[in-house]
Structure 1
Amino acid sequence: MAVNSSSNNSIHSIFSSDIYCYITRPSSQIFATYFFIHILLVLSLCIFVLYLGLQRWQRQSSTSTAAKTSHSDIFTYHMVTMELIGVTGSILCCCGIILDNAYILYVGFIPWSFTWYGETFFHILTCVERYLAVVHAVTYLSLRGERGIRIRNISTGCAWLLCCGATSLINENSSLVGDFCLLIFSVIIVSFCSFSVLYVLKRPGPGEQGGDRERVDESKRRAFYTIMAILGVLLLRCFGSLIWTLVHMLMESECVISAIEHWLNLPSSLVLPLLFLHRAGKLACCKNN
């Protein structure tokens, strides 16, 4: 997939410098593999999550006694919708790599970037929701009603608007500074919320005595390991993106760094759908739990 010098200049002057890595060997093969696996895994998970969500909605519509949809599930539905937008971008990027067409790649890069911002914002919202549920349980219970639903809807609406605004600026040099600040903010919020939850889970709670102690300890141990895994995935994503952003701010794009950053993003695209399926008891490895 070699390109001539005039094409190189055109790519660097019009498009993101990452696009150049997508159409030059051997990095193009690495990116093509990534996009193919991203499409395969994320698309199948998202379709399954939306299918289960539709079933729940139908059950809730048919009975008045059905439980309300939790805030975390609503965030997951929004996240899955954004992931489907990212899958569209991955399909276009695959076509651009196969056809050796930088303009198709750029068109695919736009929805992929939109999803990257969406993952950042909705992971923050999910971590905050988890923090309130565990650390401030009384306050969280008060937000299960209309006031909490209103706050949740406003938060999700702001996340979508911020994604649109950030994506419209991806060709601006100042967007890298904004991305860097967003990632630092994300690391702070995700770390604070997750470590606060882990601290509470390690402490013995009221009523954890007698015959229920072992059962409660086992439940808290599973929750502790789950939060640890989520924290590891999110921090891996944030630090990978931070390194990528710093490299772009300080020097020319490095294809190896960009490829690593793409692969580090993949687990964070899967974590919320997998957690949803875990809560729904649809994961074979978790059915016994």
Structure 2
Amino acid sequence: MSTNSSSSLSVLPPLSSSSNSSTLPFYLTCQQSVPRRVIFSAYVVINACLLPLFLLILLMGLQWWRSRRSAGTKMSHSDFFTYNMMVPEIICVVGSVVFVLGSNSNKELLVLLGLFMFCIILPGQTLFHVLTCVDRYLAVVHPVPYMHRKDTLGVRIRTISTVCVWLLSALWVGIMKLYLPDFPTIPFFCFLGVCIWIIFFCCLSVLCALTRPGPGGAEDHRGQVDQSKRRAFDLILAITVTLHLRFVGLMVSFGLKNSILINLERFCAVLGSGIFLTLPSSLVLPLLFLHRAGKLPCCRKNAGSE
């Protein structure tokens, strides 16, 4: 096999002839690759098109807070986590744009700034998904204690958990800085694997509660309970599927760095393509939120037909 057809990431070309800084992450070397530029630019365009959706969710949360706060209405935990998740999503979109601008103009400062902004979503989004699934798990599997403590202890735990997520996201940026010019692959995939197992456990537990026969009672009440369990299971299942896609996409994007049996151009194309698998995990909670709020066209149609 010729040396041109097999390349190690340790000998990939630098970002530009004028910049040989060791602070540049390994995958920036692929920015000279045309497939990588085209694919990642397409991803950034699609990601930027989602920005109005994320802003809409935040605007709806602000409107709810203004209109319902005076009435003493409590915000559901799932909605609270969704509103919070929109912030790292927006930071990620801005970071991806800054990243592309910096790499195309060979500005290392912009590249690193965009990289840190882009990667803040890696722990933040995943942890808000975990908190949403744990909330639905508690509501379905332990309904009585959950309802009794939802508006007291539950709110305090929700606030503390959210603060911890933001602190961990800030800590993750520091970890990435320590690992430069590499990516903290092992810590990240260990963290993601633990989160996926927690969500998978919640999914199985809610499925068991859904299939388990409920206590005696009125048919309509049991029907409402079953519908609530069904919605919780659908939400957790959707998050589970999208996080598995995200895991595969990030594994493709970051897990091939030590491969020596893949052609450079092919590697750069695969590196860019894998990131598209992370898009569904950014969409699942906003779309489910709009579905619950009846803002999707299909929801209006179904509501009108009932």
TM-score calculated relative to the size of structure 1: 0.86
Specify the code of the residue in structure 2 equivalent to 1:283. L
User: Is the 2:35–2:269 Cα contact (8 Å) retained in structure 1?
Assistant: no
Specify the code of the residue in structure 1 equivalent to 2:55. I
Instruction: Find the residue that maps to 1:7 and give its secondary structure.
Output: coil
Confirm whether residue 190 of structure 1 aligns to residue 190 of structure 2: no
What is the CA-CA distance between 1:110 and the residue it aligns to? 0.8
What is the CA-CA distance between 1:213 and the residue it aligns to? 6.6
Specify the code of the residue in structure 1 equivalent to 2:97. I
Instruction: Give the whole-Å Cα distance in 2 for the aligned partners of 1:201 and 1:90.
Output: 40
CA deviations 1:132-174 (Å, max 9, x no partner) are 1111112321331222111111111111111111111214158
Distance 1:106 1:58, change over 3 A: same
User: Is the 2:33–2:268 Cα contact (8 Å) retained in structure 1?
Assistant: no
Instruction: Give the whole-Å Cα distance in 1 for the aligned partners of 2:217 and 2:281.
Output: 34
Q: Flag structure 2 segments of 5+ consecutive residues without an equivalent.
A: 1-11
Specify the code of the residue in structure 1 equivalent to 2:286. P
Confirm whether residue 166 of structure 1 aligns to residue 175 of structure 2: no
Counterparts in 2 of 1:80-119, with a 5 A limit?
80-119=86-125
Q: Which of these residues, 11, 14, 29, is aligned with residue 20 of structure 1? A: 29
Confirm whether residue 266 of structure 1 aligns to residue 279 of structure 2: yes
Confirm whether residue 175 of structure 1 aligns to residue 184 of structure 2: yes
| 1:59 paired residue number | 67
Instruction: Find the residue that maps to 1:86 and give its secondary structure.
Output: helix
Instruction: Find the residue that maps to 1:68 and give its secondary structure.
Output: coil
What is the CA-CA distance between 1:284 and the residue it aligns to? 1.2
User: Is the 1:240–1:264 Cα contact (8 Å) retained in structure 2?
Assistant: yes
Instruction: Give the whole-Å Cα distance in 2 for the aligned partners of 1:145 and 1:219.
Output: 19
Confirm whether residue 154 of structure 1 aligns to residue 160 of structure 2: yes
Counterparts in 2 of 1:275-286, with a 5 A limit?
275-286=288-299
| 2:3 paired residue number | none
| 1:29 paired residue number | 38
Specify the code of the residue in structure 1 equivalent to 2:29. Y
Distance 1:196 1:125, change over 3 A: same
- Calculate percent identity across the aligned residue pairs: 41
- The answer to which of 94-103 and 210-219 deviates more is 210-219
Higher relative contact order at CA 8 Å, sep ≥6: structure 1 or structure 2? 2
Specify the code of the residue in structure 1 equivalent to 2:241. G
Specify the code of the residue in structure 2 equivalent to 1:149. V
Instruction: Give the whole-Å Cα distance in 1 for the aligned partners of 2:84 and 2:285.
Output: 11
Instruction: Give the whole-Å Cα distance in 1 for the aligned partners of 2:197 and 2:17.
Output: 38
User: Is the 1:71–1:129 Cα contact (8 Å) retained in structure 2?
Assistant: yes
Distance 1:10 1:208, change over 3 A: farther
| 2:58 paired residue number | 50
What is the CA-CA distance between 1:263 and the residue it aligns to? 0.6
What is the CA-CA distance between 1:275 and the residue it aligns to? 1.5
Instruction: Give the whole-Å Cα distance in 2 for the aligned partners of 1:263 and 1:145.
Output: 38
Instruction: Give the whole-Å Cα distance in 1 for the aligned partners of 2:49 and 2:147.
Output: 38
What is the CA-CA distance between 1:204 and the residue it aligns to? 3.3
TM-score calculated relative to the size of structure 2: 0.81
What is the CA-CA distance between 1:228 and the residue it aligns to? 2.9
Which structure has the larger Rg over C-alpha atoms? 2
Specify the code of the residue in structure 1 equivalent to 2:98. L
Instruction: Give the whole-Å Cα distance in 2 for the aligned partners of 1:160 and 1:214.
Output: 38
What is the CA-CA distance between 1:48 and the residue it aligns to? 0.9
Instruction: Give the whole-Å Cα distance in 1 for the aligned partners of 2:174 and 2:144.
Output: 40
Instruction: Give the whole-Å Cα distance in 2 for the aligned partners of 1:144 and 1:198.
Output: 22
Q: How many residues align?
A: 283
Q: Which of these residues, 236, 239, 254, is aligned with residue 230 of structure 1? A: 239
Distance 1:205 1:233, change over 3 A: same
What is the CA-CA distance between 1:6 and the residue it aligns to? 7.9
Instruction: Give the whole-Å Cα distance in 2 for the aligned partners of 1:33 and 1:179.
Output: 25
